Amino acid sequence: MITFISCMVALVVGYMIYGKFVENVFGADENRPTPCQVNPDGVDFVPLSEKKNMLIQLLNIAGLGPIFGAIMGALWGPVAFLWIVLGSIFAGAVHDYFSGMLSIRNNGAGLPKIVETYLGTFMGKFVNFFALILLVLVGVVFVAGPAALLAVLTPAWMDLAFWSAVIFIYYIIATLLPIDKIIGRIYPVFGAILLIMALGICGSLFIGGYSIPELTLANLHPKALPIWPLLFVTIACGAISGFHATQSPLVARCTTNERLGRRIFYGMMIAEGAIAMVWAAAAMSVFGGTAGLQDAMAKLGGTAGIVRHVSMTMMGALGGTFAILGVVVLPVTSGDTAFRSARLLIADFLKMNQGPMLDRLKISIPLFVVGYLISTVDFNFIWRYFAWANQTTAMFMLWAAASYLYQNNKLHWIASIPAAFMTAVSFTYILQAPEGFSLPTTISYPGGLVLTVLVVLAFIRYITKQKSGSPTIGA
């Protein structure tokens, strides 16, 4: 329990101290006009209040990851707490802050444009393709998870196929309509459900007398899977997630003052880290340790079954049902904006105006057809590739942030160190994972290190060359 409380306190202190430090390094300017003030279009560039933007950002980024990922990460034991805290403060929140603020500084640019601006045209085009795949995968992944939970709670005729269709229809509506018509109105309600769910589970940990394991760096995984790099990919959205870099620009286009960025972008990542802490602690405590959690996953039907059992056990039938609805809200409110972001990425690439409904339909219809076809593939297969693509996208965003900082004579280490770390995670994972090259650790570990060093050297060469040339956009 001491470890859990200490980690929660560390998240708050990290926001207050390191978050303020990051803001000062960036140099947020409250007098600088923002994109929604300069280019309002009534669809995507719409001024929204600070509270709405905070809730939209939180619900956009907090998909299945801080719950499903935290539960799966709990199999390694309390070491997962350490990654959630350190990852959220020094990597994830920094990543989210710069993806939002650099979008504001570049007229509401999406991730590919940000990468192109600070890492070059080739990298921008590559990330455009890569991010589009990631967003479609996210949209698909965030249909199957909530649909499975809803199917358990409702009559038999409301099966997985029924709820998948309902969620897809909602995604289509949310993707096409102006951001303030659907997302801006229902997210505050969803946000209340989410917060009540998280607080309910957290309160039950204390009131119910559950024994939360204390910190140990030992690997407690029942199958002895290595901590490096698997834990750092398994717990993504609760520590650092490249998907967030595709979502922050949506809110950046609705933000009215740069000084709000720390609360909206940095702060909401810290909040997501707190949600991941709650679910990791619950998963370790309710089943008496990692071995019990592994057995429960097999008996209850995976992470969705764990969520249902934990919710009902800790909060009773009514409270548990409400908690499960909160878990449903998380992925649904990330899936809708994933498809919305995909529409905007394609529109930016094709230079297609998104004001007219017909132009939005031209992009959205084929996008959802592709999404539906992918949804027929095995969920676990999609999730494995999504996890790696997610962390690789974070790597790109952090290197872009580091380039911006270096070229503008700012402290680039706050971005370049986590960028190098995530590069090592991504390369080592794909060399080692079954969906990658399936290499043993004796090869994947040194191989990942060598590739990371090469990327760092290439980055140094690029930024040195760029700094000697023209000034950077967005300073």
The CA distance from 327 to 311, in Å, is 10
CB hemisphere CA count around 467 (13 angstroms): 15
Please, is 178 exposed, middle or buried when counting C-beta atoms within 10 Å of its C-beta (0-12, 13-18, 19+)? middle
Read off the pLDDT of each residue in 243-261 and give the average, rounded to a whole number: 95
User: At 226, is the secondary structure helix, strand, or coil?
Assistant: coil
Selection from 87-96, 298-307, 310-319, 343-352 with the highest mean pLDDT: 87-96
pLDDT of 6 above 60: yes
Residue 262 has pLDDT above 70, yes or no: yes
pLDDT class for 280, splitting at 50, 70, 90?
A: very high
Residue 404 pLDDT > 80, yes or no? yes
**pLDDT of 292 over the 70 cut:** yes
Q: List Cβ neighbours of 296 (8 Å cut-off, separation of 6 or more).
A: 287, 305, 306, 309
Question: Are 244 and 100 contacting, i.e. CB atoms less than 8 angstroms apart?
Answer: no
As a whole number of angstroms, the distance between CA 470 and CA 366 comes to 40
pTM, 2 dp? 0.91
User: What pLDDT score does 107 carry?
Assistant: 94
Banded model confidence at residue 96, pLDDT cuts 50, 70, 90? very high
**168-172, 208-212, 305-309, 374-378: lowest mean pLDDT where?**
374-378
In this structure, what token pair is assigned to residue 416?
């370049």
> What is the spatial distance between Cα 370 and Cα 335, in angstroms, rounded to a whole number?
14
Closest CA to 302 of 321, 319, 283: 283
User: In the numeric block, which tokens belong to residue 118?
Assistant: 């600070």
Classify residue 88 by its DSSP letter.
I
| Alpha-carbon radius of gyration of the chain | 21
| Per-residue pLDDT, 469 | 63
Fold of 2-11+36-377: Amino acid/polyamine transporter I (1.20.1740)
Instruction: Find the mean pLDDT for residues 39-54.
Output: 91
Which is more confidently placed, 309 or 475? 309
HEC sequence for 243-297: HHHHHHHHHHCCCCCHHHHHHHHHHHHHHHHHHHHHHHHHHHHHCCCHHHHHHHH
pLDDT tens figures, 62-85: 766 788 889 999 999 999 999 999
Residue 337 · residue 190 · CB < 8 Å: no
53 touches 260 (CB < 8 A): yes
pLDDT of residue 356: 80
Average pLDDT over residues 166-181: 87
